[in-house]
Amino acid sequence: MQIKTTSFKDLIICNPSVYKDERGYFYESYKESLFQEKTGLSPQFVQDNQSQSTYGVLRGLHFQIGEMAQAKLVRVIEGEVLDVVVDLRKEEPTFGQSFSIILSAENKTQLFIPRGFAHGFLVLSQRATFFYKCDNYYHKESELGLKFDDPQLGIDWQLDPTALILSEKDQNNPDFETLKQLL
């Protein structure tokens, strides 16, 4: 596994070693001891989630607060997405900044997202299956969202906004200024 750091504390890009032959491929998508050795981090994952979406679906930006905050290790097992995070950790110099990366079944890249980030993704392929590990359980009462198209965040979603498909909940998420009052 190759690890690449980002300018955000503990936001880490993981590229597994993939072994290919005429039968297909094999790789370890996660090995706790290796992850700890390479990153110095020790998340204890307790829940796996998976979703499937079609082209233009934008899910996010979501996060949980307080004791129910979640770190995530995310990847795509079918298709391609634009994965986006926003740093909501007030004590960090990257507070309010976003980071995006293409995750796909082809590149097998994973992103480790520490607690304190809002997260979302946009499906760029006809269909995508998104998989992620969480270090805390889903807790509806602790869940919040952030407006995906807040101009203050300046996220380039790479698609015309009229082509995006969002849930009603995601269409009504608060903007960054409003959200700062809740953090």
Q: Which of 19, 27, 30, 132 is catalytic?
A: 132
Residue 35 CA to its chain's centroid (Å): 17
Q: Is 139 a catalytic residue?
A: no
Q: Are 75 and 82 in contact (CB under 8 A)?
A: no
What are residue 57's DSSP bridge partners?
165
Q: Which of 30, 55, 62, 139 is catalytic?
A: 62
Sheet arrangement for strand 117-123: 98-104, 80-87, 117-123, 58-64, 143-145
What is the H or E stretch that residue 99 is in? strand 98-104
What residues act catalytically? 62, 132
